[in-house]
Amino acid sequence: MMNTFPKDFLWGSATAAAQIEGAAHLDGKEDSIWDVFSRVPGAVQHGDTPEVAVDHYHRMPQDVALMRELGLGSYRFSTSWARVRPGDRFTNAKGLDFYSRLVDELLEAGILPWLTLYHWDLPQALQERGGWTNRDTAHRFVDYASAVYDALGDRVTHWTTFNEPLCSSLISYVGGEHAPGLMDPGAGLAALHHQHLAHGLAVQHLRERGGDDLQLGITLNLTNAIPEDPGDPADVDAARRIDGLWNRMFLEPLLLGAYPSDVLEDVAEYDFEQWVHDGDLETIAQPLDFLGVNHYHDDNVSAHPLPEGHPESARPTKRPGRSFFVGSEFVTSPTRGLPRTAMDWEVNPDGLRTLLLRLTATYPTLPPLYITENGAAYDDELVDGRVEDHERWAYIAAHIDAVAAAMEQGADVRGYFVWSLLDNFEWAWGYDKRFGIVYVDRDTQQRIPKLSARNFAGLIGENRRRA
């Protein structure tokens, strides 16, 4: 790799609690919405659940040792609300103790802990009170953030409130694809606003407690929404609507303190503004120290039904709720002939460069950026104890090149986290889809660094020497 990144550029890898920990009902942890959703027949492929996952809860010290071997500068993980405050009734010392030990192991290994408070695993007890459709959940989130800060605030400096609120609001409450699996646009829009509110309240709270010693931010999944046929006004408008609902409904309240007016018009029938109380937007638009960007692929958007034989039609987890997003059918996986991953996602590193430059050009208040997730699923094969995942490494390397190009062209990017450290529970896709740079044998839980892990370690080392 020929790029030179600044010396303090942060190289890391990311995971999420429900995807790796297991121990779903151990040491006081109670059901999260993903435990419950995964037990609904047909919700997750093969009926897979997060119950055991990749047993990180028990293998944490070895997993941190592996991170150290790879030379990671940072590890992005999430804490589980249902472990820290089971049923949201009380703070569970045993649950917090796990994260405290994790943080100690990381610091001991010279790895910066990068903590995410919400990566989709709401306590089921709160779902029973309406989940994110209930404004009170935003206040319960602050209680939870406060409990985590009590335990870790002396050692953790980097705090992310939410991971991909698009997924935990619209995709979960409208698309039906993620827990709690609803298909109700009004509920999804309420969830979206209440998650923004929870973010703002938590940033305020953490800032009051930790001041400028803390780095506070949020991670969004952002996409370039490209009309399938730029000459077709219906496709162009569908792309505008996807850009509005998926990108701008998040970027604009957070960075500009207002919701995009075209989207408010699109969703007028749901009376979205009933959820937005006086003062909420000021709370939501707290100054941020960083914005995390997750990017895997762009989206080609069409207002027309899928063509015969399009890979999206074969999607096992497809839900009719998705039709809300553009009113009828739409295509997200592009048909423009690029190579595809095992998720059927296109490989288009230039989309990442374009996205970073667009953010830089559009938002004067944009804080420094971190790529908090980027990576790919491929059908790995374990042969003679090795996984030679050349395609995954090519994907990662090309995206790192795209980040370098964006930086040269003016984007302020400070770090890159590969998704994911370990093969894990890929939500509605269960354990079928492997995103890890480290292979996990599902029977023995053995960890085997893939070629991509070895090459990523090499790149990090090389960069450290040259920077």
* Smallest distance, ligand GBH to C-beta of residue 295, A: 9
Distance of alpha carbon 246 from alpha carbon 421, whole angstroms: 26
Q: Are 182 and 119 in contact (CB under 8 A)?
A: no
Q: How far is CA 77 from CA 12, 103, 375, in A?
A: 11, 10, 16
Residue 163 within binding range of ligand GBH, rule CB under 6 A: yes
Residue nearest to ligand GBH (CB): 332
Residues within window 275-314 making contact with ligand GBH, judged by CB under 6 A: 294
- Looking at the Cβ atoms of 332 and 455, the one nearer to ligand GBH is 332
Q: Are 7 and 467 in contact (CB under 8 A)?
A: yes
* Smallest distance, ligand GBH to C-beta of residue 110, A: 26
Residue 16 within binding range of ligand GBH, rule CB under 6 A: yes
* Smallest distance, ligand GBH to C-beta of residue 422, A: 11
- Looking at the Cβ atoms of 281 and 422, the one nearer to ligand GBH is 422
Kindly tell me the burial class for residue 312, based on how many C-beta atoms sit within 10 Å of its own C-beta (0-12, 13-18, 19 or more). Answer: middle
Among 266, 373, 389, 423, binds ligand GBH (CB under 6 A): 373
* Smallest distance, ligand GBH to C-beta of residue 431, A: 12
Q: How far is CA 368 from CA 183, 263, 290, 371, 451, in A?
A: 35, 26, 5, 10, 31
Distance of alpha carbon 304 from alpha carbon 87, whole angstroms: 43
Which ranges constitute the DSSP H helices of 109-232?
124-127, 136-152, 165-166, 172-173, 185-210
User: Is 373 tagged catalytic?
Assistant: yes
Distance of alpha carbon 51 from alpha carbon 42, whole angstroms: 17
Residue 435 within binding range of ligand GBH, rule CB under 6 A: yes
Q: Angle at Cα 416 formed by Cα 437 and Cα 352, nearest 5°?
A: 100
Q: Are 161 and 202 in contact (CB under 8 A)?
A: yes
HEC per residue, 94-126:
HHHHHHHHHHHHHHHCCCEEEEEEECCCCEHHH
Residue 463 within binding range of ligand GBH, rule CB under 6 A: no
Residue 322 within binding range of ligand GBH, rule CB under 6 A: yes
Residue 372 within binding range of ligand GBH, rule CB under 6 A: no
- Looking at the Cβ atoms of 281 and 356, the one nearer to ligand GBH is 356
Q: Which stretch binds ligand GBH (CB under 6 A): 159-167, 225-233, 273-281, 352-360?
A: 159-167
Cα-to-chain-centroid distance, residue 109: 25
Among 105, 164, 235, 280, binds ligand GBH (CB under 6 A): 164
Q: Are 240 and 227 in contact (CB under 8 A)?
A: no
* Smallest distance, ligand GBH to C-beta of residue 408, A: 27
Residue 332 within binding range of ligand GBH, rule CB under 6 A: yes
* Smallest distance, ligand GBH to C-beta of residue 118, A: 11
Q: Are 219 and 162 in contact (CB under 8 A)?
A: yes
- Looking at the Cβ atoms of 21 and 373, the one nearer to ligand GBH is 373
Distance of alpha carbon 176 from alpha carbon 321, whole angstroms: 6
> What is the token pair recorded at 67?
């991170």
Count of residues engaged in binding ligand GBH, rule: CB under 6 A:
16
* Smallest distance, ligand GBH to C-beta of residue 280, A: 25
Distance of alpha carbon 103 from alpha carbon 98, whole angstroms: 9
Among 114, 324, 370, 419, binds ligand GBH (CB under 6 A): 419
Q: Which stretch binds ligand GBH (CB under 6 A): 57-65, 143-151, 164-172, 351-359?
A: 164-172
* Smallest distance, ligand GBH to C-beta of residue 248, A: 16
Provide the 3-class DSSP secondary structure of residue 401: helix
According to DSSP, the β-strands at 215-221 and 299-301 are unpaired
> What is the token pair recorded at 297?
């692929």
Residue 177 within binding range of ligand GBH, rule CB under 6 A: yes
Task: Report the amino acid identity of residue 464.
Answer: R
Kindly tell me the burial class for residue 79, based on how many C-beta atoms sit within 10 Å of its own C-beta (0-12, 13-18, 19 or more). Answer: buried
- Looking at the Cβ atoms of 149 and 419, the one nearer to ligand GBH is 419
> What is the token pair recorded at 377?
């699923």
Among 10, 23, 151, 167, binds ligand GBH (CB under 6 A): 167
Residue 114 within binding range of ligand GBH, rule CB under 6 A: no
According to DSSP, the β-strands at 225-227 and 290-294 are unpaired
* Smallest distance, ligand GBH to C-beta of residue 167, A: 6
- Given 228, 373, 391, 426, the catalytic residue: 373
Write each residue from 189 to 228 as x if it is in contact with ligand GBH (CB under 6 A), else as -, in one continuous string. Answer: --------------------------------x-------
Q: Which stretch binds ligand GBH (CB under 6 A): 91-99, 169-177, 384-392, 442-450?
A: 169-177
- Looking at the Cβ atoms of 134 and 323, the one nearer to ligand GBH is 323
- Looking at the Cβ atoms of 431 and 435, the one nearer to ligand GBH is 435
User: Known catalytic residues?
Assistant: 373
Interface residue list for ligand GBH (CB under 6 A): 16, 19, 163-164, 167, 171, 175, 177, 221, 294, 322, 332, 373, 419, 426, 435
